[in-house]
Amino acid sequence: MNFNCREANISDMKAVHDLIVELAIYEQEPNEVETTPEELVKLGFELDPPFFKCFVAELNNKIIGTAIVYNAFSTWKGKTVHLEDFIVNKNIRNKGVGGKLFDLVLRYSKNIGAKRLSLNALNWNENAINFYKKRGAKIINGWSIIHISERNIN
């Protein structure tokens, strides 16, 4: 399969959004996606600095995967990168796309001097966990992911 991975551009955001919706359906949370393609454009390309960086994999001019990261800070490590979402179209999985796209994220992290790449995976998503373990990930048990919704921020 002849695909390429690259940094995303504005015109990719509709396809990236479609992949985000696909992920939400896979994770059985289809009604949780509030972002729009327009918001992805604004937050990723029109703000200075942008809120996130996006990479895509494409095959025959069609986006088949994406990785969305943002710069973060660790009081213990310093500069880090957080991989917010990593999505490969379900029909293309297990063909090397994820590995190449993830390598691009790792290169980006190294190039900006990040001391760590952090990410989350659902406990039941053994395929994802095994994918990350093969790449040297350490699974942190005993920590909980905590979200405070918009209505409780005010």
Residue 127: strand, helix, or coil: helix
DSSP 8-state code for residue 69: E
68 neighbors 85 (Cβ within 8 angstroms): yes
67 neighbors 20 (Cβ within 8 angstroms): no
Q: Residue 125 corresponds to which amino acid?
A: N
Q: Is 132 a catalytic residue?
A: yes
C-alpha to C-alpha distance for 130 and 99, rounded to whole angstroms: 12
* Catalytic entry in 26, 70, 108, 132: 132
C-alpha to C-alpha distance for 19 and 98, rounded to whole angstroms: 14
Strands 53-59 and 116-119: unpaired
Active site residues: 132
